[in-house]
Amino acid sequence: MPNRLVREGLMESEAVLSLPVEGRWLFVIIILSADDVGLFEATEFKLARRADVNRDLAGKLLQMIADADLIRLYVVDSKRYGFIPKFRQRLQIKTSKYPLPPRAIFQDDSDALNKINELASKTTVGAPVGSGCTTVGQPPEAELEQEPEGKVSELRNSSSSSAPRRRRKAADLPVCPFDRIVAVYHEMLPELPGVRVVRQGGKRQKAVASMWHWVMTSIKGDGSRRATTAEQGVEWFRDYFERARNSDWIMGRLPRGPGHENWEADLDYLCSEAGMKRVIEKTKAPT
């Protein structure tokens, strides 16, 4: 394990202090596990073992750390990796054992940009910089679904399954048409809060891109893909938003619980794991 410089400011960071104690410890484990650029393998099994916490808890903590923007997650060949922004460690390695992330993840970090570009020019490991590997806001183990339509599959133990897996390389996937998806959202769900603020490479874009990747790579129960072209992908989102419209709970036609009376579903919720489960598992597909 490489030597790491852990700065004093970590103890005063609002983002770190917003985490539960177990989350802070897991973040320290991630810092100690990352390479010189700040890349690490973000699988729940390994992180749970290193931090000596329950695997399910590790998954929840990992998402909390990502939500605080202390790490940024991405997927290559259906495996999850992470990047620590503003890592600022001395670059000693000549190659990375981890696939390099897409540019959107680190484009606001000039130090990482220089280091990753330097590695990309030398290494044959991983994806080239800006290759379009998908960033994620939710755990990606369900990227390749094998269960029937109507469930968001959890494939953490799928390595022993005899069901065939059909994978598409990230470079082969159509680029996520964020603006078109937002336009379809506004068209299909005008009653829900509109999308007004979009930060380039921000959490909202990453969440939509993660869902787009799932749509373009996952497999339905009949063995077919949900979408193979950009047009099919956009139509899938149209159907998805239509299903959301048919949900009394999402549309607020049912009373909210105490403390959530004024809560409204929005695009961020619909692109989250909780939102996908609510729509896909508890509504019927349009006929």
Q: Any idea where the domains of the chain sit in the sequence?
A: 8-136, 158-282
Residue 55 pLDDT exceeds 70: yes
Confidence of residue 218 (pLDDT cuts 50, 70, 90): confident
The larger pLDDT score, comparing residue 207 to residue 259, is at: 207
Which pLDDT score, from 0 to 100, does residue 6 have?
61
Q: Quick one: average pLDDT of 171-190?
A: 89
Which pLDDT score, from 0 to 100, does residue 251 have?
92
Which pLDDT score, from 0 to 100, does residue 10 have?
67
Which pLDDT score, from 0 to 100, does residue 151 have?
41
Q: Quick one: average pLDDT of 269-280?
A: 91
Residue 89 pLDDT exceeds 90: no
Residue 57 pLDDT exceeds 60: yes
Which pLDDT score, from 0 to 100, does residue 121 have?
62
Residue 163 pLDDT exceeds 60: no
The larger pLDDT score, comparing residue 154 to residue 233, is at: 233
Cβ(102)–Cβ(134) below 8 Å: yes
Residue 172 pLDDT exceeds 90: no
Residue 141 pLDDT exceeds 80: no
Which pLDDT score, from 0 to 100, does residue 50 have?
85
Cβ(68)–Cβ(15) below 8 Å: yes
Q: Which pTM value belongs to this model? A: 0.45
The most confident of the ranges 50-59, 107-116, 230-239 is 230-239
Which pLDDT score, from 0 to 100, does residue 123 have?
47
Which pLDDT score, from 0 to 100, does residue 184 have?
94
Half-sphere exposure for 91 (CA within 13 Å, toward CB)? 14
Which pLDDT score, from 0 to 100, does residue 99 have?
80
Residue 207 pLDDT exceeds 70: yes
Q: Where is average pLDDT lowest: 14-18, 40-44, 61-65, 118-122? A: 118-122
Which pLDDT score, from 0 to 100, does residue 8 have?
59
Cβ(33)–Cβ(50) below 8 Å: yes
Average per-residue pLDDT for the chain? 76
Which pLDDT score, from 0 to 100, does residue 94 have?
63
Q: Quick one: average pLDDT of 28-48?
A: 86
8-136 has CATH 1.10.10.10 classification: yes
Half-sphere exposure for 177 (CA within 13 Å, toward CB)? 17
Which pLDDT score, from 0 to 100, does residue 80 have?
86
**How far is CA 75 from each of CA 22, 189, 209, 218, 263, rounded to the nearest angstrom?**
24, 29, 11, 13, 31
Closest CA to 231 of 172, 175, 169: 175
**Residue 135 β-bridge partners:** 74
The larger pLDDT score, comparing residue 205 to residue 150, is at: 205
Residue 165 pLDDT exceeds 70: no
